[in-house]
Structure 1
Amino acid sequence: MFTCVGAAFAIGANNYNVGSAARMGPGYFPLIIGTLLTVLGLVVVASAFTMKTADGDPVGKIAWKPLGFIIGANLLFGVLLAGLHNIGLPAMGLIVAIYALVVVACMAGANFSMKLSLILATVLAVGSYLTFIVGLKLQFQVWPTFISG
């Protein structure tokens, strides 16, 4: 990801006047940051292929259950927050989406507790409401349409 994003920024910076270190143009900073990000990504990839584990064992198998639950939780959050109007699913709002996200994501762990999931979801929902709606005054749906009218 670092390599791709960095390369995209470095390539995009060439559309602007780059200039020199003494007289920087608008494309200079994105070019330098993009190049550094690309190099960092390549170093991370190279170290992943050359790193040895402490006991010499190979990397274990992929944990499909947690991977599926975490990706599914994020997809469910997006669908519930925005809705799927072409199939008749209205937007359910921020609060419902956060509760669904947290409960499904918590199922990825070895020890699932509905009580702890609901407590965490409540803390996250209240914090998100205070941060985004009250603090930043962002305008998006908080409750489902049938509740908020």
Structure 2
Amino acid sequence: MFVIVGGAFAIGATGYTIGTGARMGPGYFPLLLGILLTVLGLFVMLKGLRKSQDGKGDKLGGVAWKPLVFVIGANLLFGVLLGGLPSIGLPSFGLIVAIYALTVVASLAGERFSLKGALILATILAITSYVAFVKLLNLQFQVWPAFITG
């Protein structure tokens, strides 16, 4: 994964002016970051393929499907709820609802689920996100569902 993402960043950065170390262009940092990520990925991959000293290595485990599905699903749900799907008539539900949905669904990925804990975390994340993005950075996006704000 590191090799693929790093390679994609490095290749994508070549579409911008790279510049030099003294006069960096917009593609300089993504190019270096992509190269470093690719090298790190190759190092991790080669270390993982190397046999242990005694010739016995641990078997690869199965894919953890439950966390994978819930975490990816939570992120997709966040995007859909925040932006809506106008093509099918689904309105935006706003930042606060999207954060609560993201937190509760992602919390289902763990071995133990606590609705109380998920709601406390969602409240902290919602307040922090509102203050940081809406109040401090003045970003303009819907905070509450349209049927609440009118």
Q: TM-score range by the shorter chain?
A: 0.7 to 0.9
Q: TM-score, length-normalised on structure 1?
A: 0.80
**Structure 2 CA distance, aligned partners of 1:75 and 1:46?**
32
> Deviation at 1:35?
3.2
**Structure 1 CA distance, aligned partners of 2:26 and 2:118?**
46
Alignment of 1:2 onto 2:2: yes
Q: TM-score, length-normalised on structure 2?
A: 0.79
User: Which aligned pairs between 1:4-23 and structure 2 lie closer than 5 A?
Assistant: 4-11=4-11, 12-13=13-14, 16=17
1:50 aligns with 50
**Structure 2 CA distance, aligned partners of 1:101 and 1:71?**
10
User: Which aligned pairs between 1:113-124 and structure 2 lie closer than 5 A?
Assistant: 113-124=114-125
2:35 aligns with 35
Q: 1:131 to 1:61 in 2, by over 3 A?
A: same
Residues 71-122 of structure 1, C-alpha deviation per residue, up to 9 Å, x if partnerless? 1111111100010111111000000000000111111111111111111110
Q: What amino acid is the match of 2:121?
A: L
2:146 aligns with 145
> Deviation at 1:42?
1.4
Root-mean-square deviation (Å):
2.8
Q: What amino acid is the match of 1:61?
A: G
User: Which aligned pairs between 1:52-71 and structure 2 lie closer than 5 A?
Assistant: 56-71=57-72
**Structure 1 CA distance, aligned partners of 2:116 and 2:24?**
56
1:86 aligns with 87
Q: 1:43 to 1:128 in 2, by over 3 A?
A: same
How many residues are treated as equivalent by the alignment?
Answer: 145
Q: Give identity over the alignment, percent.
A: 57
